[in-house]
Structures are given as C-alpha cells and as structure tokens.
Amino acid sequence: MWFLKWTEIIVKEFGHPTRSVAGWLISKLLTVCNRVLEENTVQLCGIRPEDTVLELGHGPGHGLQSAAKLLTEPRGRLIGVDYSAYMHQMASDRMKDFVASGKVTLYHCDVEAMPLADSVVDKVFHCNCYYFWSDLEKGATEIHRVMKPGGLMVTTLRLSNWPQEPYMTALRDSGFTDVRMEDKQHKNITFQAIYATASK
Ligand SMILES: C[S@@+](CC[C@H](N)C(=O)[O-])C[C@H]1O[C@@H](n2cnc3c(N)ncnc32)[C@H](O)[C@@H]1O
C-alpha cells in the first residue's frame, strides 16, 4: 500500500516537482538522468549566437545552462518557462548571473499561456515535457504563436513506448510543418527527437 502511494507521488512529482522530499529527489534524478539529454537537445537546435531561444519545462536548468553559453552575440536571448515554483526557483538560482545581466529571462508559467509577444522566438526546445500538458493542441498553438516564421522546435523524449502521434498531430494542426521523428543515440543513451518548423 505504502509502495503504491509513493509510486503515485513520484509520478506526480515528475510532472510538477514541488518543494518537498519527493520534489528534491526528482530534481536530483533529473540532473543525473537527463542532463545529457538536455545537452544533446540544445546541440540539435543549431542555435546561432544572435538567436532568441525558449526552453519549455526546463526543470533544474541544465539545458538552460548549455544554451546560454551559445548565445554569445549581444542580441542573443534565452527564455525559460516552467509551472513548478520549485523548478523556477532552482533554475533562477543556477542562472542568476545570466538573469542579472538580462541575457536570460525565466517565467513561472504554463506552456499554454506564456507572457511573450507574437513571433519573437527563433528556436524552441523541450525534453520529457509534453506528456504532462493538459491540452496538447492548446500548448502547440501557444508555442506556434510565439515563434518566428520558419523557427525550429526540437522535442526530445526518452520514453519510446509513449505515444508520440497525438503530440505530432497537435503540432501539424497548429501550423507546424516538416514534423518528423528520429531515433538518436549518444554514448549509452537512446532517445527520440521530434523536429517541427513553425510555418506562418
Ligand atoms: C519530467 S520534468 C523534465 C525536466 C527537464 N526538462 C529534464 O528533462 O530534466 C518536466 C518539467 O516540465 C514542467 N512542466 C510540465 N508541464 C508543464 C506545463 N504545462 N507548463 C510549464 N511547465 C511544465 C514540470 O514542472 C517539470 O519541471
């Protein structure tokens, strides 16, 4: 019985880590297990030094750290959103120098309602995140709204048996084109990458 209760708590915490023992454990697990995935995802985006880049559901912030280093032009900007207050705080601490300089802006908000203007983002990436969205189409439409025409989004996941079709369909229905998935391997990790272009 206690085992089932803990399994339920852990699954819930993966989707929305809270400031708690379980949330702290999840943050450690995400760091150990997903850091390489986050770094690989950043590489797949083909970030240019002057780009405006957005990470969705950044968790502890390791992907933000990798992306920020590539935005070496003064115009280059990085935005992160996560609806977990605990993850927002953890990432804000990790990125505090970049945030103070104005290079990075982090929002505590839902992917489905981001405080961003239309057509401002060149590249979007997210890892292990869309499974938790309450409405895939609403999320996809909101991302499409904030992206510049021709902008690229890279989604990565490490759950090959998780259904990808509903997500890919939501992307196509929201105006993304060239939506395709590739299997990837990096050292000992296997993951899937979904690419999508924001056509407008
Ligand atoms: C499984 S964790 C993955 C964290 C990180 N991307 C990684 O791979 O280590 C999912 C993250 O997405 C965030 N998240 C899930 N759904 C969200 C939504 N609708 N809006 C904003 N953040 C969301 C959660 O709070 C959590 O930090």
| Residue 38 near ligand 1, beta carbon < 6 Å | yes
- Interval between CA 87 and ligand 1 midpoint (Å): 8
Q: Which of 32, 112, 129, 136 to mutate to test the pocket of ligand 1 (most atoms within 8 A of CB)?
A: 129
pLDDT at 1 (0 to 100): 63
- Residue spans of the domains in the chain: they are 34-198
Half-sphere exposure of 150 (CA within 13 A, CB side): 1
CATH architecture of 34-198: 3-Layer(aba) Sandwich (3.40)
Partnered with residue 153 across adjacent β-strands are 124, 196
% residues pLDDT > 90 (the chain): 78
pLDDT digits over 143-181, tens only? 999 999 999 999 999 877 788 999 999 999 999 999 999
Token representation of residue 78: 């990085």
| Residue 9 confidence class, pLDDT cut points 50, 70, 90 | confident
pLDDT digits over 60-94, tens only? 999 999 999 999 999 999 999 999 999 999 999 99
| Residue 76 near ligand 1, beta carbon < 6 Å | no
Q: How many separate helices (H) and strands (E) can be counted in the chain?
A: 7, 7
In 3D, which of 101, 116, 108, 162 has the Cα closest to residue 136? 162
| Residue 4 confidence class, pLDDT cut points 50, 70, 90 | low
